[in-house]
Amino acid sequence: MRDLFTRNRLIGLAIAAVIFASDQFVKWLVIGPLQLRERYVIDLLPFFDLRYTENRGVSLGLFEATSAEMRWVLVGVTALIAIVVAVWMMRERLLGDIIGLGMILGGALGNIVDRTKFGYVIDYADFHIGDFRPFLIFNVADAAITIGVVIILARSFFVSEKAEATV
């Protein structure tokens, strides 16, 4: 049984690492070879563009860092959240929850690196229907965090712990 829990935690760490690496790689492509900083927009599909955005706030652009001090406060708060998620993941036993936590951790680490290196998070994914944008412009890390939170919430509402603990 102990081997199962160790395996689950390793899966969570692997998910976090893959999301972190994917996020950083795509951001490198966007600002490097694709030169999106200079081009600003690359139209790909009628409903999806790459659109360069510097997000100086947190979720939904809230709590915008308007100074160097605020930038480092956001880095610190986000790092603290990442530490809490990592500890939670290492104490968790159920694979479904560990998967969600791994996604959140990988995404948080990706955005922490951006805010540390640049002072803002690089966002670029722009889904839209004409001029209607149901989502803010986001990145791989943001998507992973959102999906991870949805997994954790859905599991807390709909999955019986007893049923899963026996599997």
What positions carry a catalytic annotation? 123, 142
| Residues 8, 16: Cα–Cα separation, whole Å | 12
Neighbours of 149 (CB within 10 A): 15
The candidate with the shortest Cα–Cα distance to 17, out of 71, 86, 64, is: 86
DSSP labels, 49-93: EEEEEEE-SSGGG-S---SHHHHHHHHHHHHHHHHHHHHHHHH--
Q: Provide the β-strand partners of residue 93.
A: none
Helix (H) or strand (E) holding 30: helix 2-31
| Residues 118, 113: Cα–Cα separation, whole Å | 8
